[in-house]
Amino acid sequence: MSTSNYLTLLIVDDELAIRDGVSKAMPWEDLGIHLIGTCENGFEALDMILIHQPDIVLTDIKMPKCDGLTLIKKAKEQQIACKFIIMSGYSDFSFAKKAIRYGVENYLLKPIKKDELIETFQNIKNKLYGLASSNYIEYSVEKQLQELIHNKHNPKQNISLLSSNLKLTSPISIIIFDSPADFHLLKTALSQFITPPIGFVFEYDTQKLAAIVSVNNIINSKYQSIWALCTHMIQAISASSNAGIYCGIGDSVSELTFIWQSYRTALDYLAYKMYKTSQFIFDQAIVSTEVNCPLTLSSKYSESLIEAILIHDPMAITEITRSFFEWLLYIPMPPPNFVRGMCIHLMIDIQKKLALYDAIREEILQDIPHKAILSCSTLQDIENWLIYSFTHYSSCIHHIKSTTQEDAIELALNYIEQNITSKLTLEDVASHIHLSKSYFTSLFKTKTGESFRNYLLNAKIEYAKKLLQESDITVSNLSYLLGYEEYRSFNRAFKKNTGKTPSEYHKLYAIQKN
């Protein structure tokens, strides 16, 4: 059975029996779902999600290393648009509440009921395919093509009518365009060359253009080939707008329902423009037949980079990163997805290893490699971004290591004193001295003998006592000045610390003055 209209699924659970049980017990083919794999913890799953971007993730909530809620949060932060289903042995409402906040599709209690899981999958399919409403939906040609190239075919679409309206004959192909030219002007220009029965120009994503074309109709036209058509368009548009244009020509397919395959290959071929060759048209011919593609990332690069980062050696960081790119280029132009994927893998590996050092502040490692690397236009851009990121990490860590524990606490105490009237938090102070929250919490108590919360409270009370002794400030103004949202909380804290209310304390010193 063809899997062209299947949804993809990833299962995540730390128990092998559950992973195997769920993956083998469900009628995936009948449900229209393709199981792409299973993972035993959130870290493994996040890597799989970044690379494969499944439609649905079925995850346990309690797992070692990285739990289900953390996995969902990290995936949402990296703007991965997959649907999450939680399965858990815990009926604790706090878990369910967090899950709802993160937008999960369902919260299922173990042991999982087969009928309940099937119903959940069906509801997700209905949402993704727009079947929830029973009303008949009329789709524009552009809307229908957008859904078809993203493999979201809706049964309400009349494929035969669409093909007839476009006057398309098989085989058909997708062309993806990339140009800095004004979007509307470019669409108008392309539409002068591509009209039925040759094809149809449409917006496949926000401000991004593609065309669906009939291969035979082009052969029978004056252009005679898709390559010649693209060459003619590039020459004409470049001459009139002084803006370059790149074309990615997808493999031809026999039916409209399979144009998602042509679209994906067009994107793959167009990605080769990252190598900045003199080429403007990319099709299957750009792909090397070389098969000696390294399948795994050698640990020597991440280990060497970690060492260079920790000893603060920018020159070594640059040299190792460039050596990594030489390894990537096992042929002059390896598949761009392979290159980007390996770069994402390297960055994630570096971030994970650095995160093991308690003193390193979490915010240092907040770069989102998946998003940043995919946004880079050229191979050089990716290399430069990695070198910059690794060097930045090294500089931050060097600053942390060059500050002694005593210096760090002194900086923290000075910062508290200077900002005593601000609504300070532990995170604010830890961030100021470039330490992780957990490490700072432990270090502060060790060096001062009390918790950060108690120290800050006592410092605010001492500041309040001084103002009450030396001025006629009102209690409400004083509580507001010290960051309290309402004066009753300040009253309680002050009395607990001094045995008197702020008003009583102020009157006592007023009497002593007189």
CB–CB of 28/54 below 8 Å? no
Angle (CA) 148 150 152, round 5°: 65
3-state secondary structure of 30: helix
Give the span between the Cα atoms of 238 and 257, in whole angstroms. 33
Q: Is 17 helix (H, G, I), strand (E, B) or coil?
A: helix
Task: Give percent above pLDDT 70 in the chain.
Answer: 87
Q: SS3 for 57?
A: strand
What string of H, E and C letters represents the secondary structure of 495-509? HHHHCCCHHHHHHHH
Condensed to tens digits (0 to 9), the pLDDT of residues 403-417 reads 677 788 888 899 998
Kindly write down the DSSP assignment for every residue of 64-124, as one continuous string: SSS-HHHHHHHHHHTT---EEEEEES---HHHHHHHHHTT-SEEEESSPPHHHHHHHHHHH
Q: What are the helix (H) ranges across 329-378?
A: 336-354, 369-375
Angle (nearest 5°) at CA 78 between 386 and 121: 140
Residue type, 195: T
Angle formed at CA 108 by CA 102 and CA 111, multiple of 5 degrees: 150
The closest of 110, 6, 97, 93 to 58, measured between CA atoms, is 110
Residue type, 376: C
Q: State the burial class of residue 404 (Cβ atoms within 10 Å of its Cβ: 0-12, 13-18, 19+).
A: exposed
pLDDT digits (tens, 9 = 90+) for 49-108: 887 888 899 998 888 888 888 898 888 888 787 899 988 876 555 566 566 667 788 888
Mean pLDDT of 287-293: 63
Angle at 367 between CA 76 and CA 394, to 5 degrees: 155
Query: Of the given ranges (311-315, 476-480, 499-503), which has the lowest mean pLDDT?
Result: 476-480
Q: Are 227 and 220 in contact (CB under 8 A)?
A: no
Q: In one letter, which amino acid is 449?
A: G
∠ CA 313-314-315, nearest 5°, is 90
pLDDT category of residue 442 using cuts at 50, 70 and 90 = confident
How far is Cα 251 from Cα 152, in angstroms, rounded to an integer? 19
pLDDT at 514 exceeding the cut of 60: no
C-alpha to C-alpha distance for 168 and 252, rounded to whole angstroms: 13
Mean pLDDT of all residues in 102-131: 78
**Structural contact between residues 374 and 412, judged by C-beta atoms closer than 8 angstroms:** no
pLDDT at 292: 60
Instruction: Name the strand (E) or helix (H) holding 281.
Output: strand 281-282
Q: Please tell me the least confidently modeled range out of 51-55, 168-172, 236-240, 476-480.
A: 236-240
The β-bridge partners of 8 are 34
Q: Is it the case that residue 131 has pLDDT exceeding 60?
A: no
Lowest average pLDDT, out of 99-103, 136-140, 228-232, 447-451, goes to 136-140
**pLDDT (tens digit, 9 = 90+) per residue, 6-30?**
788 999 999 888 888 888 888 888 8
Q: Residue 1: what pLDDT? A: 36
* Confidence at 144, pLDDT banded by 50, 70, 90: confident
Token pair recorded at residue 197: 């029965």
3-state secondary structure 230-243: HHHHHHHHHHHHCC
Q: How far is CA 315 from CA 273, 321, 393, in A?
A: 29, 10, 14
Cis peptide before 180 (omega within 30 of 0): no
What pTM was estimated for this model as a whole? 0.53
pLDDT for the residue numbered 58: 94
* Under 8 Å between Cβ of 509 and 468: yes
Rg of the chain taking only CA atoms, in angstroms:
30
Instruction: Read off the pLDDT of residues 347-398 as tens digits, 9 standing for 90 and up.
Output: 988 988 887 765 565 656 666 778 888 888 899 999 999 999 999 888 888 8
